[in-house]
Structure 1
C-alpha cells in the first residue's frame, strides 16, 4: 500500500487526527497528509453531487449575468432544493 494511503487509513481511526505523529510514522509530508485528509473529508460530507454543484454554479452565473448576484440565503435555498431531488 502507498505510504500516504496507509497514513490516511490510519488517520480514520484517530479522534482527533494527529497529523504530525502519523506523518512521521509513515514517512510522509505532514502538510500533504493534512491536505489530502481534509479533501477526502470534504468530499465525503458534500450534500450535493457533482452535477448538482454544476447546476448551482450555472444558476449563480446566470443571476450574476443579469446583474442580480444571489444573496447567501438565495444560494442556501437553492442548495436545499437541489439536495432534496
Structure 2
C-alpha cells in the first residue's frame, strides 16, 4: 500500500475529535508532512488518480482499440492515425485527440 494512503487511513481511523499531528504521522511513515496534509484535506490527489481521471479510454476500451488495430493489420490494412482516432472517439463517445 502507498505510504501516504496508509497514513491517511491511520488518521481517518482515529475517533472523531481525537488530536493528531501531521508531523508525527508523516515521520512514522517516512513521508512529507505537507504532502500528507494536502492529500488528507483533499487539496491534491495522487498522481495515479490524476492521470486516471485524464484518460479518455478505460482499460476495456483500450483493449478494444488494440483488437481493432490488430484486426486491421491482419487484413493487411495499415491503420492510419485518422482511423485510430475515429475509432477511439467512437469508443469513448467523445472527441479524442490525435495523441
State how far apart, in whole Å, the 1-side matches of 2:73 and 2:36 are: 39
Q: Cα RMSD between the aligned structures?
A: 3.1
Relative to its length, the structure with more helix (as a share) is 1
Moved over 6 A (4+): none
What SS does the aligned partner of 1:69 have?
Answer: coil
Unaligned ranges ≥5, structure 2: 9-34, 95-99
Higher relative contact order (CA 8 A, sep 6+): 1
Partner of 2:3: 3
Report what 2:64 is aligned to. 55
**TM-score, with structure 1 as normaliser:** 0.54
Contiguous gaps of at least 5 residues in structure 1: 15-35
Map 1:74-85 onto structure 2 (within 5 A): 74-84=83-93
The residue matched to 2:57 in structure 1 has which SS?
A: coil
Q: Report how many residues are paired.
A: 63
